[in-house]
Structure 1
Amino acid sequence: MKRGGFPPARVLLLVAGCVLMSACSETKLATYAVKEAQTGQDGGGYKIGKPYQIQGVWYYPAEDYNYQETGVASWYGPDFHGKYTANGEIFDQNQVTAAHRTLPLPSFVRVTNLDNGRSLVVRVNDRGPFAHSRILDLSRRAAQLLGMEQQGTARVKVEIMADESRALAMRLKSKTDEPQVAAAPRETVQAETLPPPGSREQAKPIVNSAPPPPRQTVAEPDAQQLANQPVRTVAVKPTQMYIQAGAFQRYDNANRLSAALSGMGQTKITQVVTKGGTMFRVRMGPLPSLDAADALLEKVIASGYPEAKLVVD
């Protein structure tokens, strides 16, 4: 509305718009902050990281697009909510994310709860867990959707989503490595003298420089869409927990380890065929409970076998 003594209408509209924005600033800023927290991705980048140690055990982050593992997952939330993740994102316990010790950050994995069959796509954006007997730390929301919040842990199968994770890595790498580009030169114009009015001669066209070629882009998966995929329910079979102390290409090595661990409990050597060839696994178990598995794993590691891990089969 126009009042006497006020600026012209155009300026008045601008001022009015500013006043309206100022009046709603708290609400809009709060909404924006919530949206930023919901994405959980702003400020983060692609990261693999250097080898690191947790309680005497070394871990070696790497790109592994064949990754698949079974074990026990836990969840984390309130104590880390709003803090930075290992790749610089803001952790939001209400988003579907997870922490993994070695996968690239970020990556997408499918997590299947082997206790109830629930399966979900999860975005890995942090390092952890810090307990030797866990293979994945889920956000609180992911734990809720997988039906394990109350229990605190669950037997899970974790599989990397190779295509989606590769595409995301390429996108973030290209963004990080992209050089600073100088400003494009102005378009060149050729000036021509126009003929007098009424002349039959047509004016020569203005010649512009050719437009730059289209930029090559890498298809990036929609993180929000992937993370919001519905929970699936798949058929699962009963599983047991074991401590896998090692895996060897030669039976003699497996047999020596089995003998060394025999004083801690029953051991068994099993032969399996993998992409890398035939392997001989040394396992202890099955274990009657997670507490028993945790205790035995710590004992095996303390005895000089840091490669030991808890597996579900």
Structure 2
Amino acid sequence: MRKSITRPTIYSGIVLLMALLSGCASSPEPSSSSRYSISQDRAPTGDFDASDLKDAVPRYEPLSRGGNKSPYTVWGKQYTVMADASDYAQRGTASWYGEKFHGHKTSNGEIFDMYEMTAAHKSLPLPSYVRVTNLDNGRQTVVRVNDRGPFHGDRIIDLSYAAAKKLGYQSRGTANVEIVAITVAADGTMRVAGKNEPVASPPPAAPRKASAGEGIFVQVGSFSQPDSARQLSQRLRNVTDSPVRVFAAGQYHRVQVGPFIQRGLAEEQSKLIEQVGLGRPIVVTDPL
């Protein structure tokens, strides 16, 4: 015979459940939150080729609606967002973040892409542009800051995996760097921190046209292992009617679709490939 449940028993159960839920809600969320499918950050699989990546191009942008609250508190420590970053320059340790956060929102509401030239910083306005120099090897790049962090250790900036690869420290995890802010006013004038006079912003570089013996291609991936390149090329042949090739460039094997007679056609194909989840292609000009 099924035993009946009295009202006090039900009430006690509800109180206990509410207490448990309250305890969960008030607990600090661990870094390995269920928001992320990967508990520990890591580099993407394969050997990502950063040789064709272009620096972020500084331009005037209004402040983002998200990510600029000041002050704000993380893990009990308070941070203040700079009102003006035009004179900001600093030396310290840079780290990088990658696959764990790939596809998730940044602090200003954009989507983090570990293959783009972006970064996280604790106090620069969002968005901002900075020139980062790896003091260990002299390499430089320009990144767009659209996220907050890093919040542990003495690290002063967290670069995307792609930016770290371009600076040559992705395998070490950290590097000694110098950060210099690049600010662009609404009238287009650009100021580099440490320089006394503003400089005119350079006009956007026109896409390089293919010359004789060259073609316009959509590059979907680049690998040090030829088998990885062949596997991706086979997947591409199932989603596009355009020619697919594996082009050997030094130690890398580049998976490319094309050639195309117009850059616009290549960009359309690039968007289609991205929509089916085969990466974030770039349009390049390479030998036929």
TM-score by length of 2: 0.42
Of Structure 1 and Structure 2, the greater helix share is in 1
Larger radius of gyration: 1
The structure with the greater share of residues assigned to strand is: 2
